[in-house]
A and B are shown apart, each in its own frame.
Chain A
Amino acid sequence: MADRQAFMASIRRALGRDAPGASVQPPSETALSLDPADLDARARAAANDASERSDELMDALARSAASAGWKVARVSTLEEAAGYIRSAALDVEAKTVVRSAHELLDSMGIDAALANVGIRAETMTAGDESGREALRETAFHAEMGVTGADYAIAETGSVALLARAEVSRLVALLPPAHVAVVERAIVLPSLDELFTLRRGAFYDGNLGSYMNIITGPSRSADIEQTLVTGVHGPGEVHMVLLE
């Protein structure tokens, strides 16, 4: 704490607010940011708006995702989704596919669909220390990772993944290919709605430890400004839009 007190004192000195009794409180907690008091209303409005405009948002997402480098597939049934994932896995000659424990993936019978063509599907779930080591090894050697998504953003062509119980951070990171399955109900117009909902989650006490917003493949232009994909994360990414 000594470090903190000295640090804050030096900031106040620099700001000329070190006189005893000088206020350190801004005029209001959020000052120029949106008021947390209206947060619930804003979150509800965002959700309603997104569901009313879902056709338009799905189209916008398909376009922005494609321009961000996703391969976009629009499918109307779970079977079709599983079929698409299977053929994508065959295309990369996958032997092992790791996946998150998203319910959506369970309900499409993805494990069986892959097993039919001789591909092993491993679900990454929580375990003890040695279990975690083993999972890392598995994910490292897998040719593809499959996840659901918590949100998708039409503005930017992104999916947002929350790390939480039963959803690994590594499925969409370690394998060279990633497939994200996006349901209509999770598509949001823009980043603003996403952060309104996340702020709401914080006030509800379930922000969780981690959120990753993914927009296209891993990329770099560090060598002569030449765009290269697949640096440390997946170089091949698919977004499956489930109508």
Chain B
Amino acid sequence: MKPKTGDFNRAAASALADADVQRNMRGLYDGFHMARERAAEATPNWEDLRDRARAVKAHTIEYLDHYLGMAAENVERAGGKVFFAKDADEASRYILDLAAARGVKTVIKSKSMLSEEMGLNARLEEAGVEPVETDLGEYLIQLRGETPYHIVAPALHLSKEQVADLLQEEIGGPRYERAEDLTAAAREQLRGKFFEADMGITGANFLVAETGTLVLVTNEGNGRMCTSMPKVHVAIMGMEKVVPSMEDMGMFLRLLIRSATGQRLSSYVTLVNGVRRDDDVDGPEEFHLVVVDNGRSKMLADPALREALYCLRCGACLNACPVYRKVGGHSYGWVYSGPIGAVVSPMLTSLPDAKDLPYASSLCGACREVCPVRIDIPRMLLHMRSDLAEGGPHSGSPRASLAERLTMKAWRLAVARPWMLRLANRLARLAQRPLVKDGRLRKLPPPLSAWTRHRTFPAVASRPFRDRWRSELRKSRRDG
């Protein structure tokens, strides 16, 4: 999947101008966000849960090799196979080889952001295997050849009319209007696929190291289909998804689900331990777990970005973000969107190609407020901005231009020395004279012109604050 992360400004402008998109995103705040608020309110010790979950994630990531090793052993003990893939290509090749070896023609898939990241569907198609997304939203965006619009609601941007056209074109038959009928049509279409498929591919919400248990959270039931119907089940998982103990699951499920949709629990939480046992009535004969790095170790290696790996992918930061709610998911140009996407997408692809994403935020902190594991996203965005400006390890480029650096150096000198600041003030007052109109600077000359493209600046005051402060102080002493 070729990232379009460099296209943020243009894509955001077009989303802002699109009345349908704006209308479809209106429910994010009143729906998802407020449901989260109510659920958090209703959960005893919610704030303590967040603290503890954060501590457990921090600990697990600190000993990631240990816990992944433990998880792998336990998956193998339950009859599963584990493959560690350093990148998307290795992971895809493992799955393609397996599909070829088992003569797989059709794969049913349950929603996985990692699969999107790997561009797995395209790889399967090239190899002559039909991938069928079975989460309703994923199915719709697969038909449209798009990336998910939202971590939890992939087809959020589509109107009922668009869905109606899409399904009629794909399935034929009548054009349905209501969400119920559209869903029923998709259900019928996908039912046959569940029976045909020789392989089911799922993501992973958690992997319990201690027991080797894969945990999947779904609402539609397609995850259960994918883990019960085909003979082969493949789970793909970002390496950060491992958690230590089964007894952590109550806490993590509460935090994930209530932050995502506000439900007390999703309709289905499915726990998979390897393959069907000999006396089980049904279930897959093979279970493969593919653990994927694909750039995650870049975040692991930078202590300032490591906490991005605590993310549970609940989507709460998207719903809370005033920028996401306007520019929408596709503006971010890749698989992950919103505040966490602005951190993760550049790190998993390339920061220099995604220079605008760390700036796609007003740093208001709403994302940090709602994050179930208290990830400090604004701090990380600032870190990435400074990495870009200072030519840091992720920037892939030399430092900012000489002119910019000299300007910033001069600024630093001046603000630390009162006489220089006074002098600069005086010079600025002189220099701005031809530019001021009604007390505002409306158009600055290059190289400062970008600052006034979308706004005006107040002119430098004829009497600086410092002078006014001094005289007020004097006056009050005299009067007092």
Contact = CB atoms under 8 A, between A and B. Distances in A.
Contacts of B160: 223-224, 226
B84 interface: yes
A209 B85 contact: no
A53 interface: no
Given A32-B56, A224-B160, A232-B222, A8 B68 contact: yes
A199 B247 contact: yes
A202 B70 CA distance: 14
Interface in A92-137: 124-127, 132, 135-136
B386 interface: no
Contacts of A216: 267
B159 interface: yes
A225 B219 contact: no
B304 interface: no
Contacts of A140: 191, 195
Contacts of A219: 219-220, 267
B267 A169 contact: no
Contacts of B24: 224
A226 B63 CA distance: 42
A10 B297 CA distance: 8
Contact of A3 (B83, B137, B155, B297): B83
Contacts of A125: 281
A152 B282 CA distance: 23
A188 to B, nearest CB: 11
A197 B241 CA distance: 23
B343 to A, nearest CB: 17
Contacts of A67: 264
Interface stretch (A72-80, A82-90, A158-166, A179-187): A158-166
Nearest to A68: B264
B347 to A, nearest CB: 12
B56 A231 contact: no
Contact of B268 (A135, A194, A233): A233
Contacts of B135: 222
B137 A191 contact: no
B221 A233 contact: yes
B65 A8 contact: yes
A14 interface: yes
A47 interface: no
A216 B280 CA distance: 25
Interface in A184-243: 190-192, 194-196, 198-199, 202, 207-226, 228, 230-234
Given A10-B86, A33-B56, A210-B272, A192 B250 contact: yes
A209 B277 contact: yes
A19 interface: no
Contacts of B369: none
Interface stretch (B97-105, B114-122, B179-187, B465-473): B179-187
Contact of A220 (B85, B219, B229): B219
A187 to B, nearest CB: 15
B200 to A, nearest CB: 12
A214 B269 CA distance: 7
Contacts of B180: 228
A4, A192, A217 pick with most chain B CB within 10 angstroms: A4
Contacts of A225: 27, 31, 153, 156
Interface string B74-109: 000010001111100010000000000000000000
A45 to B, nearest CB: 13
What are the 7 tightest A-B residue pairs by CB atom distance, in nearest-first order? Answer: A233-B221, A222-B137, A33-B245, A191-B250, A7-B84, A232-B221, A14-B301
5 contacts: A163-B280, A164-B279, A219-B220, A231-B136, A232-B194
Interface of B: 24, 27, 31, 52, 55-56, 59, 62-66, 68-69, 72, 78, 82-86, 90, 134-137, 140, 153-156, 158-160, 163, 179-180, 182-184, 186-187, 190-191, 194-195, 210-211, 213, 219-222, 224-225, 227-229, 239, 244-250, 253-254, 261, 263-277, 279-283, 291, 293, 297-298, 300-301
Interface of A: 3-4, 6-8, 10-16, 24-26, 29-34, 36, 64, 67-68, 124-127, 132, 135-136, 140, 153, 155-158, 163-170, 173, 190-192, 194-196, 198-199, 202, 207-226, 228, 230-234
